[in-house]
């Protein structure tokens, strides 16, 4: 079992640095660096990739907040509307971030008249690593406690109970997705335009459908969390993007 340790704020002299925000920023920088290198290797403009990543990051942060406010704790925000726009308050859903991030890539490439699928695939290459690093911040502040478990990677909480810690597990999933991307690329398993975006949506959806079952504090709409409901159509879209080339070839 993993012992309890946490970090909310790192004090550097008179300056306090928030752990979660810092790791999210590191995740963004690492993911974008990987995506920019992928773009360059595919003959795309890495500087344009950085512009896309910037607007995607802003859109994702806004979208993750909106999704959380609307679907996870709407009653609270009705009574405390100021909290909805206070970035220092907790409450961000990566599902909304993905949705708004995809929208941002689509809008930006349309405005700049870029190849949507090519640049989106390059962005997708950085996402697993960005998620892996950013979710370490969730683990260190323990904002996603899970159900009681005997799982070897369970965390012993201060009350002595060993629980799933979804921040840790989703971080590991991010790194595993990155490794799957490397293997799939080496084996040339993804060939359709937009296929890397599709692979990310499928893998992320599978992980959320499984791991969200262990959450103990999240809202539920029927049997599933809001993120799980959103994951279902996104997985369908992802599967279409991954297998589109094979389907088209079959028709020919």
Model pLDDT for residues 57-104, shown as the tens digit of each residue: 999 989 999 988 888 888 888 888 888 888 777 778 888 888 899 899
pLDDT at residue 92, rounded to an integer: 82
Q: What pLDDT is recorded for position 12? A: 74
pLDDT above 60 for 248: no
Using N-to-C axis directions, what is the helix angle for 94-112 and 46-71, rounded to 10°? 140
From 21, 92, 101, select the one nearest 60 (Cα to Cα). Answer: 101
pLDDT at res. 246: 53
What pLDDT is recorded for position 50?
Answer: 96
Distance, C-alpha 198 to centroid of its chain: 14
Residue at 151 is within a domain? yes
- Residue 73 in any domain: the answer is yes
Contacts of 63 (CB under 8 A, 6+ apart): 96, 97, 98, 99, 100, 101, 103
Q: Calculate the average pLDDT of the chain.
A: 90
The model carries a pTM of 0.88
Question: What is the rounded average pLDDT of the residues 189-211?
Answer: 94
**Averaged pLDDT for residues 105-127:** 95
Burial class (CB in 10 A: 0-12, 13-18, 19+), 175: middle
Question: Is 212 inside a domain boundary?
Answer: yes
- Section 175-190 average pLDDT: 96
pLDDT above 90: residue 221 = no
Q: How confident is the model at residue 149, as a pLDDT?
A: 96
**Residue 245: band (very low, low, confident or very high) from pLDDT cuts 50, 70, 90:** low
What is the predicted pLDDT for the residue at 172? 97
With H, G, I as helix, E, B as strand and everything else as coil, classify residue 102. Answer: helix
Q: How many domains does the chain have?
A: 1
Q: Report the share of the chain in percent with pLDDT over 70.
A: 96
Q: Does 181 score more than 70 pLDDT?
A: yes
Give the Cα separation of 147 and 213 in Å (integer).
Answer: 9
Task: Note whether residue 72 is domain-resident.
Answer: yes
Which residues span the domain enclosing 28? 9-251
Instruction: Give the pLDDT confidence score for residue 251 in this predicted structure.
Output: 45
**3 within a domain of the structure (yes/no):** no
What CA–CA distance (Å, rounded) separates 110 from 116? 7
Q: So what's the pLDDT on residue 74?
A: 84
Please determine, for residue 111, whether its predicted confidence score (pLDDT) is greater than 80.
yes
Q: Tell me, yes or no, whether 23 lies in a domain.
A: yes
On whether residue 4 sits in a domain, the answer given is no
| 193 is a domain residue | yes
**Mean pLDDT confidence for 176-181:** 98
Buried b vs exposed e over 30-64: b needs ≥16 C-beta within 10 Å?
bbbbbbbebbeeeebebebbeebbeebbebbbbbb
pLDDT score for 82: 87
Compute the distance between CA of residue 195 and CA of residue 39 in angstroms, rounded to an integer: 15
């Amino acid at each position: 079992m993993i012992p309890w340790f946490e970090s909310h704020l790192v004090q550097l002299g008179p300056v306090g640095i928030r752990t979660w925000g810092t790791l999210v920023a590191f995740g963004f920088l690492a993911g974008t660096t990987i995506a920019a290198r992928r773009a360059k290797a595919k003959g795309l403009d890495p500087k344009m990739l950085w512009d896309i990543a910037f607007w995607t990051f802003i859109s994702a942060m806004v979208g993750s907040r909106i999704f959380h406010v609307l679907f996870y704790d709407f009653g609270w925000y009705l009574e405390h509307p100021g909290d909805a726009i206070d970035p220092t308050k907790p409450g961000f859903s990566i599902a909304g971030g993905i949705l708004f991030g995809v929208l941002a890539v689509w809008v930006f490439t349309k405005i700049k008249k870029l190849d949507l699928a090519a640049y989106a695939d390059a962005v997708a290459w950085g996402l697993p690593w960005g998620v892996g690093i950013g979710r370490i911040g969730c683990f260190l502040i323990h904002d996603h406690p899970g159900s009681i478990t005997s799982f070897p990677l369970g965390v012993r909480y201060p009350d002595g109970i060993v629980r799933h810690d979804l921040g840790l597990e989703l971080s590991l999933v991010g790194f595993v997705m990155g490794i799957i991307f490397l293997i799939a690329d080496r084996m040339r398993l993804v060939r359709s335009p937009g296929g890397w975006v599709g692979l990310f949506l499928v893998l992320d959806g599978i992980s959320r459908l499984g791991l969200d079952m262990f959450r103990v504090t999240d809202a539920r709409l029927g049997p599933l969390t809001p993120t799980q409901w959103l994951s279902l159509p996104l997985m369908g879209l992802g599967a279409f993007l991954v297998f589109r080339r094979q389907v088209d070839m079959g028709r020919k």
